Structure 1
Amino acid sequence: MSSALPYIETNPVSEIKATVIWLHGLGDSGHGFAPIVPELKLPDTLGVRFVFPHAPERPVSINGGMRMRAWYDIKSMDFDKRADLTGVRESAEQVEQLIEAEISNGVAPEKIILAGFSQGGVIALHLGPRFSKSLGGIMGLSTYMCQPELLADEAHPANQQTPVFMAHGEMDDVVPIAMGKAAHDTLTANQYNVSWQSYRMQHNVNMDEINAISQWLQARLG
C-alpha cells in the first residue's frame, strides 16, 4: 500500500518516551478520539505522544456505497463476513508504516501501544499479533476480529506475550458484545495475554473505561 496515513498528533510537554497510535471507527477521523488525551490524565513523566491517523476514504457497501473514512469495506453485517480482509490487510500495512516511523524517530517498540475503536480495533487486533517487533500493548475497544481462524498461522511470536486490553459496551447495538467476546476467546485460545472488561454503555466509551485505559497505559508505559 502506498503513502503514509495523514494524522493529527498530541505531543508531551517533555521528551517523547512512548507513543500511542489510536485508530478511529467507521466514518470518524483522527479528530474523533483526540479529546480523550487530557481525560486520561497521564503523568507528564511518561512522555506519551499520541498519533491519531485518518483512515482513507472509500465506498462502504452497507451504506449504499457512500464514500467515508473507513479502514475497510463492510459488505455484510453478518458476524463472520463483516470485515473485508483485503482492506484490513491494506490498512494494517499503512498503520505498520506509522509504527515504523515512530521507531525510526527513537521510540522503542516496547513503548508503543497500538489501539483502536470499532473498525480501528479490528486493525489493531489484526496487525498487533502479526507485527514483527514486540509492542508495549494492543488495545481493542468495542471491536471484533477479522477472520480469526487465520490468527494461528499468521501470528508472529514477537507479540505472543504482549498485553492486550479489550473492552466493550454491554448494550452495543453496532458491534454486539458477543463479537468482542469471540475475539477475546480467540486470543485466549491462542495463549495471548488478554484482559476483558465490559461496561454499561452502547457503542462508545465512558469515564469508567477511560479510567481503566489510563491505569493500563500507565502500567504498560511506566
Structure 2
Amino acid sequence: MQVSDLRAPWTQTNYPYTNDLMLINKAYANMIIAHQYDEKRYYHNLTHILQLVSLQQAYADRIRDNEVVLFSIFFHDIIYNAKRSDNEEKSAAAAVEHLQRIGFPADRTAAVNDFIIATKTHINTQNDPDLDYFLDFDLQILGTSPEAYGQYTQQIRQEYSMYPDLLYKPGRKKAMQHFLDMPSIFRTPVFRELYEEQARQNIQAEINTL
C-alpha cells in the first residue's frame, strides 16, 4: 500500500455519516500531517498506519464493526510524543472530537475511545472480539522476521533518542518483559498461530542485548 491508498478507506469510513467533503478532506489532511511530517516519528508514522489498514482489510470478514476498527487505526497514534505518557488519552480525545463532529453514533464513538486507550496496555478489558483483532494488528510487528523486528527496534530507539542507554535499556527491557509474561501476546487464534512463537523469540533476543 501507498500513502495515497489511505484516502479511499478514510473517505468511505467517514462518508456514511457526513457528506461534507471539506470536513472529511481537512481531517484526512490533518491525520496525514500528524503522522508524516513529525521528523521524530521513526516508527509511529504512516507506514505503521498503512500496515494496520492492510491487516484490517485482510481480516475484514472476521470483524463485526470495521468502521470502529478503522477509526481506531487512523487515530490511535495521531498524538505521539515519546516524552509523554498520555498519548493514548490525547489520541482518543482527538478521535472522539472528530467522530462527534461527523455524527458517528455515541456508543460506537465510545468504543473507538476504548480501543485507543487499550493500546496503552494491550489488555482487552472489554472482552470485545474486534478489539482483539485491533490489538493484534498493532502488535503484529513483534512476530515478523528477525530482520524486520530489528529494524523496528532501531526505529523505536530513534524515537527515544533523547534518553541515554542508562535510562532507555531498563525501561525497554521492562516493557518487553511485560509481553513475555503474558499467557499469550496475541489474542486471536489466527495471530497466535502465525506470530506468537516468532514474537517470543524476537523479544527474548532483544532483551538479551539490553
TM-score, structure 2 normalization = 0.37
Structure with the bigger percentage of strand: 1
Structure with the bigger percentage of helix: 2
